[in-house]
């Protein structure tokens, strides 16, 4: 569920930084 929130925020921000999304997902795991 947490990673879904991270993805939602990533898309809300306009997908400006793919690396940031990867970092967030790695933290969640």
Contact 10, 20 (CB under 8 A): yes
- Range of the structural domain that residue 26 is part of: 1-29
Contact 6, 23 (CB under 8 A): no
For residue 29, the model assigns a pLDDT of 64
Separation CA 2–CA 9 (nearest Å): 11
pLDDT band at 6 (very low <50, low <70, confident <90, very high): confident
Number of folded domains in the chain?
1
Comparing 22 with 14, which gets the higher pLDDT?
22
Please say if the pLDDT value at position 25 is more than 70.
yes
H runs (alpha helix) in the chain: 2-12, 18-28
Please say if the pLDDT value at position 15 is more than 70.
no
Please say if the pLDDT value at position 5 is more than 70.
yes
Separation CA 13–CA 9 (nearest Å): 6
Cβ neighbors of 28 (< 8 A, separation 6 or more) are 2, 3, 6
What does pTM read for this prediction? 0.35
């Amino acid at each position: 569920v947490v990673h879904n929130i991270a993805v939602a925020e990533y898309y809300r921000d306009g997908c400006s930084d793919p690396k940031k999304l990867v970092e967030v997902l790695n933290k969640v795991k």
